[in-house]
Amino acid sequence: ERPSCSCPDRFSCRGHRDSKIVTGTFADHAVPGGTFRRRHSGPVSEECSLPRSRATRTFHTGQPHLAPVPPIPEYGGKVRYGLIPEEFFQFLYPKTGVTGPYVLGTGLILYALSKEIYVITGETFTAMSLIGIMVYGIKKYGPSVAAYADKINEQKLAQLEEAKQASIQQFQNAIDMEKSQQALTQKRHYLFDVQREKETVAKCIADLKLLAKKAQAQPVM
């Protein structure tokens, strides 16, 4: 008869008969303070404390980029024949000279055709026709379309620049007003000094008038 298992979770008894190790559920392992406890039924007991941030830190291995990041170039790199980068020709130039890349490309094409790696079919002529039409359209209408797109882009940039300057002017006016208010606040003690002097002068005048009345009231000996 198979002995019954006293584990609280049926998933916890996997491998119980082989390893004689019973692992509890996550609720049993969790302890306060962000620690993680592993319990074994055997004589060896292991307890380890892991910070909570370590679990999330493993997913962020890259270093954050500090601002400001370099701007994206407005134009792409130079290419030849609309497809091959200029860096490819510059890389082969010291070793093969000017004609090296062209000889390499021609050899690869002839090798693919001779070994029937690429088989010429009707789709090949269709692709060549479409590529020719695309190249013709780009050469003929490309500059005018690019100029129109640049014009629209410049208009949008002008509108954004105008809004930016208006915002800057508004903030500058607010800063100037705040500075003027601070200057008035710093000079307010002069107003209190003038008020005190006015009250002092009024008190002195009142005292002098009182003394004059007392002097007039005294009989002349």
Model confidence, pTM? 0.41
Model confidence at 218: pLDDT above 90: no
Structure tokens at 201: 């002068």
What pLDDT is stored for residue 136 in this prediction?
A: 92
Listed in sequence order, the residues at least 6 apart from 12 whose beta carbon sits closer than 8 Å to its beta carbon are 22, 23, 24, 25
What is the per-residue pLDDT across 72-129, written as a single tens digit (0 to 9) for each? 887 788 888 878 889 989 998 998 888 989 999 999 999 999 998 989 999 999 999 9
Q: Could you tell me which residue, 54 or 115, shows the higher pLDDT?
A: 115
For residue 162, is pLDDT > 60? yes
pLDDT at res. 72: 82
Predicted local distance difference test score (pLDDT) of residue 123? 92
Residue 81 has, within 13 A of its CA and on its CB side, a CA count of: 9
- For 7, counting Cβ atoms within 10 Å of its Cβ (0-12 exposed, 13-18 middle, 19+ buried), the class is middle
Return d(Cα 53, Cα 34) in angstroms, integer: 9
Q: How far apart are the first and last CA of the chain?
A: 142
**H-state helical runs in 59-121:** 86-96, 100-114
Give the closest residue to 74 by CA, choosing from 148, 150, 159. 150
pLDDT tens track for 134-155: 989 988 999 999 999 999 999 9
Q: How confident is the model at residue 187 (pLDDT cuts 50, 70, 90)?
A: confident
Any idea what DSSP says for residue 71? P
Taking the C-alpha atoms of residue 56 and residue 50, their distance in angstroms, rounded to an integer, is 12
Residue 31: strand pairing partners: 35
Query: Per residue in 29-46, pLDDT tens?
Result: 444 444 444 444 444 444
Instruction: Give yes or no for a contact between 215 and 207, defined as CB atoms under 8 angstroms apart.
Output: no
Angle of helix 86-96 relative to helix 100-114, nearest 10 degrees?
100
What span, in angstroms and rounded, lies between the C-alpha atoms of 112 and 164?
57
**Separation between Cα atoms, residue 100 and residue 122, nearest integer Å:** 31
- Which pLDDT does position 194 carry in this prediction? 74
pLDDT digits over 207-216, tens only? 888 888 777 7
Residue 191 phi, psi dihedral angles, 5° rounding = -65, -40
Q: What is the mean pLDDT of the chain?
A: 76
pLDDT at 65: 63
